[in-house]
Amino acid sequence: MNIRRRKFDALIIGAGGGGLRAALQLARADAQVAVVSKVFPTRSHTVAAQGGVNAALANVTPDNWHWHMYDTVKGSDWLGDQDAIEYMCRAAPRAVYELEHFGVPFSRLADGHIYQRAFGGQSRNFGGEQATRTCAAADRTGHAILHSLYQQNIRARTHFFDEYFAIDLVCDGEGAVLGAVAMEIETGEPILIEAKTTLLATGGAGQLFRTTTNALINTGDGMAMALRAGIPLQDMEFFQFHPTGIAGKGMLITEGVRGEGGYLINADGERFMERYAPNAKDLASRDVVSRAIAIEVREGRGCGPARDHVLLKLDHLGPDVILKRLPGIRDLAMTFLHIDPIEQPIPVYPTAHYTMGGIPTNRFGQVVVPEMQSPEEAVEGLYAAGECACVSVHGANRLGGNSLLDILVFGRAAANHIIAYLKDHRYHRPLNEESVDRALARLARWDEPGDGERVEDIRAELKKVMETHCGVFREQTVLAEGVEKVKALAERMQDVRLRDTSKTFNTARVEAMELENLIDIALATVQSALARTESRGAHSRIDYPERDDQNWMKHSLYFRDGTLDYKPVRIKPLTVESFPPKVRVY
């Protein structure tokens, strides 16, 4: 078909922190780089990150990257790959100093050093006292990072396709990925962007759930594109529920509140985390705190008329700390609850937050499939970084402050690998035009008007099913019913039609394609969860309450036809000894 075509050295799909960090590295190396984003870049979800980014700078308390590595391995419940974790934790201080030089206005200590706060699951000396490792720009760290990266990209002349929706990857006859087809949202016109390399940096899939901290744009598009290209998704059963979402609404109240000294209480006024995590208390790992809150509510110690939440108390911190370190949280509480946290506690309950699973990559950002574990055998031309990828540094449970670090470190690492690849691959290859036609057919489907089911109805049902059948606590029958219900929604999706398409906004077409993506990701999540008969990290099975290292210390791989495969955890780090699995207590 005759459509608009552009050619670049590197295509990056996604303008969050992961995509922009990679783009900057490439543009500064004089590569021709295009970034496609379905929203204006600074509206990407990285902008919402509040609490901070981890790096063992030792500005407040003694620290080193090896302790950070231990905490991350333990936080991952030993499912994280220790080579990637070592790489990330060692690279962290440099990543933060780079940000400082890009212009990120970090909060400061009295001596001028970068301010660091305590976050959950962080320790000194391999499990000792609480560490203070999270570098913050008040409680708007993601906002500061994203704006600085965007400005640096403008300066480096990165080419932006703002408000373009990527539909599908295109390839040659041998499976090498050579770019993508996208739709310009304003006009509805398709465009083919050919590139020698393509990096997926499309963020997470928090829109799977009804109560979530994630924006409407987090629909797992890149993961679904990878699935359609025949690539399996890794560890999709591990979805993080953040303990402190605003009760009944889902917006995030950062862990930084507890890092500054806030704590949780139940209806009896009891500081209940002392029972669940005697040492770390409110700063235990997120999966541990989320389960504790759910149990308090289930056993009748919840607060409010419906006894359906607990309270996050921070009034004792005093106005100075709240106004200086947590101004965004105060705004959120006042806007959505009409509560001033300087005077009153905030009602909270766990809320869907972070996709630990994703597109399998090695630590160079290359997408790798099961039997292709060495860098040489990766999917040619395809990279992934950030929340859509699974490298895997978060394993079964991500530590707060490690995701901003992940996007910076692996965005940069992927770009460095691409720069080397481009030196050896100087010419564009011929495309398989059938892959272009397939992508265009996805778009064309939404040009046919009809009277079928409505996108918004299926989407609402999907979110409800996922919340009910694949939440904080899971069980065989409930999960199995969830699989059937999502499959039924996938069937009904065939009958979904847009009404009078001549009057339809292109955003309705985007929402329809996002829903197709979400359904694929929902199936991956619930089927992977049903298959894993153990409890590990965020995956908590009532019927299999113990972690089972003998049978389950392995990554799951879900294919689009519904089959599952597994691959071993990379337990060997790069330069240090492995941290062998042990009981995980806080």
Ligand X SMILES: Cc1cc2nc3c(=O)[nH]c(=O)nc-3n(C[C@H](O)[C@H](O)[C@H](O)COP(=O)(O)OP(=O)(O)OC[C@H]3O[C@@H](n4cnc5c(N)ncnc54)[C@H](O)[C@@H]3O)c2cc1C
Kindly state the helix (H) or strand (E) to which residue 150 belongs, with its residue range: helix 141-155
CA distance 342 to 252: 18
Minimum CB distance to ligand X smaller for 23 or for 264: 23
CA distance 544 to 371: 29
> In angstroms, what is the minimal distance from the CB of 274 to ligand X?
25
Minimum CB distance to ligand X smaller for 141 or for 435: 141
DSSP code of 112? Answer: S
- Residue 286 annotated to the active site: yes
> In angstroms, what is the minimal distance from the CB of 213 to ligand X?
4
| Beta strand pairing call for 53-54 and 134-135 | antiparallel
Residue with tokens 């660091």: 116
Sequence-distant (≥ 6) Cβ neighbours of residue 179 within 8 angstroms: 8, 11, 169, 170, 192, 193, 194, 195, 198, 431
DSSP code of 536? Answer: B
Minimum CB distance to ligand X smaller for 51 or for 302: 51
| Beta strand pairing call for 159-162 and 164-171 | unpaired
In three-state form (DSSP H/G/I as H, E/B as E, the rest C), the secondary structure along 363-404 is: CCCEECCCCCCCHHHCCCCEEECHHHEECCCCCCCCCCCHHH
Minimum CB distance to ligand X smaller for 293 or for 518: 518
Q: Of the listed 117, 133, 286, 363, which one is catalytic?
A: 286
Helix axes 433-444, 506-531, angle to 10 degrees: 110
CA distance 347 to 397: 24
Q: Hey, what amino acid is at 48? A: A
Distance of CA 101 to the CA centre of its chain: 25
> In angstroms, what is the minimal distance from the CB of 162 to ligand X?
9
Tokens of 486: 């999502």
> In angstroms, what is the minimal distance from the CB of 376 to ligand X?
26
Distance of CA 246 to the CA centre of its chain: 20
> In angstroms, what is the minimal distance from the CB of 231 to ligand X?
16
> In angstroms, what is the minimal distance from the CB of 447 to ligand X?
18
Under the rule (CB under 6 A), what is the footprint of ligand X?
A: 13-19, 36-39, 44-46, 48-53, 141-142, 165-166, 201-204, 213-214, 217-218, 221, 252, 254, 354, 386-387, 400-404, 407
CA distance 425 to 419: 10
Minimum CB distance to ligand X smaller for 39 or for 170: 39
Minimum CB distance to ligand X smaller for 211 or for 254: 254
Minimum CB distance to ligand X smaller for 216 or for 306: 216
> In angstroms, what is the minimal distance from the CB of 329 to ligand X?
11
In the bound complex, which residue of the shown chain has the CB atom lying closest to ligand X?
A: 16
Reading across the β-sheet that carries 233-234, which strands appear in turn?
233-234, 554-558, 564-568
- Active-site residue set: 286
